Amino acid sequence: MKINHQKEIKLWIILVAILLSVTSAFSQPLWETMKNEKDVLKLSVWFRAQDVDQYLANKDGLNSAISWCKKYGITKVYLEAYGRGLYANRETLLNSKERFLNEGFEVASGATTEYGPDEFDIFHCYTHKRHQEELQRISEYAASLFDEVILDDWYFTNCECADCIHARGDQSWSKYYTDLMLKMSEERVLKPARAVNPNVKMIIKYPQWNDEYHTRGYDVVRESKVFDGIWVGTEGRQFDYEKSEGYEIGYNAYFNMRWLANFGSIGGAWFDTGRARTKIPTYLEQARHTILGEGDEVILWCYGGHLEATPKIEALSEELPGLIKLANLVQGKPIKGVQLLKPGNSDSFEETWVCSFLGELGIPFVPVSDVDEEAMAVVFPVQSLKDPGFIRKFQHVADRGTPILVTDGLAKRMTANPAYLNNVNVKTLPVKGSPKALLNMTREEIKTYRDHLLAPFGMKFDAPARVELYLFGENMFVVENINDEAVDVTLELPKVSTVNKALILPESGSSAEVSLSGKTVKMTISAHTLVAVGVK
């Protein structure tokens, strides 16, 4: 009898446990979905050191952070050990780490090597031993507590103090900074971090401003090799023609993802709320461009910031099922198209951010860092000059009859080799020192250059600027309209019998009419809308 009674109690306990877990699953359906889909798309959030101390130091704050994450489908958290002059409290870090792990989250850490608020120019001096030692202390602190640490993109230097000027000698700032930061990475970040924790994975996060990396010390060629992984900034902003930097336009996120993949293993991407400078459609486009770039993890920066941006996180939650579908469509498929060359650490002269604006001309690009002489079509911007063998390689590509587009900034630096430029396959794009002015080209002007480049693919695309085209594998393309109004576009394909809309984002409140006329796909796409189309 006694045994049976015990069995009964056990049965009840099991039943109650099942009931509780089912209730909790139903109360957090998005979290359950995202846990199941974590290999396809993972949503994470970054707690700044200040967030850790402010929100995670007491039980209520911690409970509320856990509920918030579960509500919005966030399954991984980054607890920043150091940031903006603050070492997050050790006990709070350890306690919240344990709590998040027990709740079923993945937990990692990070460090933002900004040594004080608003001390941008004074504190980033890696020539000074004091700052080198502080960098080491930060790395050791984070690595002593966590097995995965991302170095946020404040890990750059633009110091021009007397000591830096003296130490630089007659080298360029790029050469001085990249050599110095590589040395810092090896001696003050990686070696000490691995000494305190042999299992630690140290990741370098590159900002979204790819044309200026080397001028502030980021060396994507060498640093990507010494770190255990790389992370990519995919922040976008409302593009204000007068005020915005070129890296803030939508396509930059995609370009950054695909281009950086040439240098190392990408763990994921990172974007923020953008506060007033990013409206909801652009906020969501950050996620779409990241996934088109084959990103499978997104870190939201940051918890404190997102608490004040509820409409944005709500909008992202609503789009998550669609983003998972997009990720499933894109992942593992080779991208096809026109190669766009930008070697690592290349100077952009007067064509800074040209690659991001070129992508807004509806040319399907494959961003590369080396000249591929087998390319079907290629765009060479002025950055190409970084390759010491560029002129010879250019000639090889031109001699094969490959359609080539060079920017005028490159053409004018090749005046010693005019025969190459006079080749019938070579067209020159007039950037005129203002890459953003490419956005003002008419659709007829754009079409001339686009048709030239797409000829080997048997394709023609007709669309205004800010309508992007992506080719995935042999039978899918994506068109994304980042304009504030609807557009009518056509894509002529070499061979097609049927087309089907695989996905429209956003899934509600948008529209994309897709029809086939002969070999031409006609599309009417609403503002800020992405459509993925399957082709047979």
Residues that bind Zn ion (CB under 5 A): 125, 127, 159, 161, 164
Least separation in angstroms between CB 155 and Zn ion: 15
> Which residue's entry shows tokens 């948008």?
510
Least separation in angstroms between CB 82 and Zn ion: 21
Element (H or E) spanning 153, and its range?
none
92/157 with CB nearer Zn ion: 157
Q: What's the CA gap between 445 and 46, in Å, rounded?
A: 44
Structure token pair of residue 131: 């700052």
125/363 with CB nearer Zn ion: 125
Least separation in angstroms between CB 120 and Zn ion: 13
What beta strand segments (E) does 362-475 contain? 365-368, 378-380, 404-407, 426-429, 460-462, 467-472
123/301 with CB nearer Zn ion: 123
Nearest Cα to Cα of residue 141 among 33, 49, 50: 49
SS3 call for 38: coil
- Residue 530: beta bridge partners? 480, 505
Nearest Cα to Cα of residue 478 among 497, 465, 491, 488: 491
Structure token pair of residue 365: 């690009």
- The answer to whether the CB of 88 falls within 8 A of the CB of 80 is yes
- What separation, in Å, do the N-terminal and C-terminal C-alpha atoms of the chain show? 69
123/457 with CB nearer Zn ion: 123
159/181 with CB nearer Zn ion: 159
Q: What's the CA gap between 494 and 383, in Å, rounded?
A: 32
Least separation in angstroms between CB 216 and Zn ion: 13
Phi, psi of 388 (to 5 degrees): -65, -25
Q: Residue 247 carries which side chain, given as an amino acid letter?
A: Y
Least separation in angstroms between CB 126 and Zn ion: 7
133/399 with CB nearer Zn ion: 133
Assign 3-class secondary structure to 304-353: HHHHCCHHHHHHHHHHHHHHHHHHHHHCCCCEECEEEECCCCCCCCCCCC
123/206 with CB nearer Zn ion: 123
164/446 with CB nearer Zn ion: 164
Phi, psi of 110 (to 5 degrees): -165, 175
Element (H or E) spanning 291, and its range?
helix 280-292
Least separation in angstroms between CB 160 and Zn ion: 7
Q: What's the CA gap between 277 and 107, in Å, rounded?
A: 30
Least separation in angstroms between CB 347 and Zn ion: 22
185/208 with CB nearer Zn ion: 185
Least separation in angstroms between CB 132 and Zn ion: 11
Least separation in angstroms between CB 116 and Zn ion: 15
